[in-house]
Structure 1
Amino acid sequence: MQPTSTVDRPAAPPAPNSRTFARAFGDVRDAWRQRELWAHLGWQDIKQRYRRSVIGPLWITISMGTTALALGLLYSQLFGQTLSTFLPYVTAGFIIWNFILGVITEGTEVFIANEGLIKHLPAPVTVHVLRMVWRQVLFFLHNLVVYVIVMAIFFPELTKPYRMEGDDFLHPGLSWTALLAIPGFVLIAVNAVWVALLFGIISTRFRDIPPVIHSFINLVFFMTPIVWHVGVLNRVTGDEGGGSGDWRVLIAELNPIYHFVEIVRAPMLGHAQDWHHWVVVGGFTLVGWTLALVAMRNYRARVSYWV
């Protein structure tokens, strides 16, 4: 017999709550499981960009090599640096900076640029972030060709202890510690995901954020030790390497991008390892992922409406 009153009818299942950390974690987990999808899409992005080009993605390497060479030659003269150690420094820093720059600028528009896919492809929103980060990783790998060429030219000078102008200590030179660049870059890529998730969600809701970031990103480049070395901040008359120049180092130390660059660049060049860079990056990783998961918990379901 069918129930005749609402009291006798079975209760309807409660509506699922999309604003939970379990769903936020689930979105990231499901996106990782679909790595064949975003890896294929990221590779197709590069092929599409250079579809009718004769030399294809080699343009990435040529552009990077030309820029690094020009900046290295110019700033080595401006700051009185030895070219054999300063050009590899600029090259490595510029390659890492390019990866960070791409993640930040494209990360702010990652959901806006994928409006069509978000509305028609039933996939976790993190898929679009991983696709963008993977594309930047491929660009980074292409640019490493320039690093290999520069290191091959100046290899004899970099395998023995050497001093950067402005430093009061010797760097040990290239050794097996260069392998530390691998976990360093992995850590940067992990941070790239939360940066794109957090700023991508905010920028999708507030469309003024991407232009603001694009306006200030060039200033951040010149404030970061990419084409200049931290040692030059200590070069004051009669007190090179310390004393009244110490406060100037705060210009670099208070810049979080500097620490991200240094955990990869230092082992790539055989520089002395300063572990406080890893501590700072580790702190940003924990705080950043916490903020990103909070944003995912509260606003992940709204992204498809905001785009």
Structure 2
Amino acid sequence: MHATSTVPAAGESVAAEKPVPDRRSWNRAFADIRDGVTQRELWSHLGWQDIKQRYRRSVLGPLWITMSMGVTALGLGLLYSQLFGAPIGTFLPYITTGFIVWQFILGNLTEGTDTFIRNEGLIKHLPAPLSVYVLRTLWRQSIMFAHNMIIYVIVLAVFWGSLTKSGYVLTDNGVPQPGLGWSALLAIPGFLLLAVNAGWVILLFGIVSTRFRDIPQVITSLINLMFFMTPIVWTTDILQNRFGESAGWRDLVVELNPLYHLLQLVRAPLIGNEQSWHHWVISAGIALVGWILALVVMRNYRSRVSYWV
């Protein structure tokens, strides 16, 4: 008997017999996120180093974040309270908390688009999951948010009597608010849901921006418009007082603004405002849809990021 020959026929490639790994895999996408979360020491260290590097050789260090936030909130609070005829004791805390949360949202939007571009050197030389750089940006913004909360504590101490009074209003003839109480603890899960939304924003826009470098400029331009369309330095009471119950499309400017609902998750409980359940539902829906889009992009283009940067 003659042994069966295992020599491939002419023109037949041996390499063709080996299965080619599929780079577009859901398992790879989920494994990247799972591995990134487990490498907490890496992304937390990188995020903290970003803060230290930014304020290197500065006397006050990261406290400059707090000081600039406090000056901005104080100046705009005094100005707009006079323009709208609002009591300073409740309107200044409203603007202060709005700015603190807005800065967190703004930082994740603008710096999120540069997440992978800024980490080009590490991506090409450090074998780490892409989600590490997403968590690095999110952690850095969370540290800055914590610094800014010092201003909230100071404002809270100064205007404690105004905020804890049941039935206080933000503007003249505004909707009475329940006042500050134990419901302020809802700001904790509210911030966690806000951070979950920030995660998909950084991941999605970070990957897209590596391919299309115009995205950061587009986001920067749109964010300036969104600032004025979001109730930060003005309140929804102003629309009702000006146009009554038939505000029409003017109400849609607020309700169709996703940043408004994300903002209210944290701001409303911090100052004792009434918080509607629909803010939580819409924010959770945004997180669900956003993470689906981010994971689809992660699955299809994760392997190309190192070439695009």
Which TM-score band applies after superposition, normalised by the shorter structure? over 0.9
1:17 is aligned to 2:19: no
- 1:97: Cα distance to partner? 0.2
1:67 partner letter? T
Structure 1 counterpart SS, 2:247: helix
Aligned length: 302
Counterpart among 193, 206, 214 of residue 212 in structure 2: 206
Q: Which residue of 2 aligns with 1:289?
A: 291
* Contact 2:85 2:172 (8 Å CA) reproduced: no
Give 1:227's aligned amino acid: V
For residues 101 and 215 of structure 1, the distance between their equivalents in structure 2, rounded to whole angstroms, comes to 12
Matched residue, 1:165: 171
Change (3 A) 1:116 1:282: same
Partner residue in 2 for 1:255: 257
Q: Is the contact made by 1:76 and 1:87 (CA closer than 8 Å) also made in structure 2?
A: yes
Query: Relative to 1, partners in 2 of residues 1:167 and 1:300: Cα closer, same or farther, differing over 3 Å?
Result: farther
Cα offset, 1:180, TM superposition: 0.4
1:1-307 equivalent positions in 2, closer than 5 A:
4-6=6-8, 12-161=17-166, 162-165=168-171, 169-236=175-242, 242-307=244-309
Post-superposition shift, 1:273? 1.8
| 1:2 to 1:218, Cα distance in 2 relative to 1, 3 A | same
Q: CA deviation at 1:6?
A: 3.1
Answer whether contact 2:74 2:96 (CA < 8 A) is retained. Answer: yes
Letter in structure 1 aligned against 2:41: E
Alignment partners' CA distance in 2, 1:167 and 1:295: 48
Shift of 1:169: 3.4
Give distance in 1, aligned partners of 2:126 and 2:301: 18
Could you say if the C-alpha distance between residues 270 and 304 of structure 1 is closer, same or farther in structure 2, counting changes exceeding 3 Å?
Answer: same
Unmatched tracts of structure 1, length 5 or more:
none
Residues 98, 232 of structure 2: 8 Å contact kept: yes
Letter in 2 for 1:221: F
Runs of 5+ consecutive residues of structure 2 not aligned to the other structure = none
Letter in 1 for 2:32: D
**Would you say the 8 A contact 1:234–1:246 is kept in 2?**
no
For the residues of structure 1 that align with 2:45 and 2:279, how far apart are their CA atoms? 34
Give the superposition deviation at 1:89: 0.3
Q: 2:46 aligns to what SS in structure 1?
A: helix
Superimposed CA distance per residue, residues 13-52 of structure 1 (whole angstroms, 9 cap, x where no aligned partner): 4121110111111111000010110000000110111110
Q: Is the 8 A contact 2:104 2:145 kept in 1?
A: yes
SS in 1 for 2:104: helix
Report the RMSD for the aligned CA atoms in angstroms: 1.8
For 1:17 and 1:141, the matched residues in 2 are separated by 42
Does 183-192 or 243-252 show the bigger shift? 243-252
Contact 1:96–1:140 (Cα < 8 Å) also in 2: yes
Deviation, structure 1 residue 126: 0.9
Measured after TM superposition, the shift of residue 215 of structure 1 is 1.6
For 2:248 and 2:149, the matched residues in 1 are separated by 33
Cα distance between partner residues in 2 of 1:186 and 1:74: 32
Q: Is the 8 A contact 1:20 1:297 kept in 2?
A: yes
Identity of aligned residues (%): 64
Does the CA-based 8 Å contact 1:234-1:248 persist in structure 2? no
Cα distance change, pair 11–2 in 1 and its aligned pair in 2 (3 A): farther
The residue type paired with residue 192 of structure 1 is A
- AA aligned to 1:188 is L
1:256 & 1:6 partners in 2: Cα distance?
A: 61
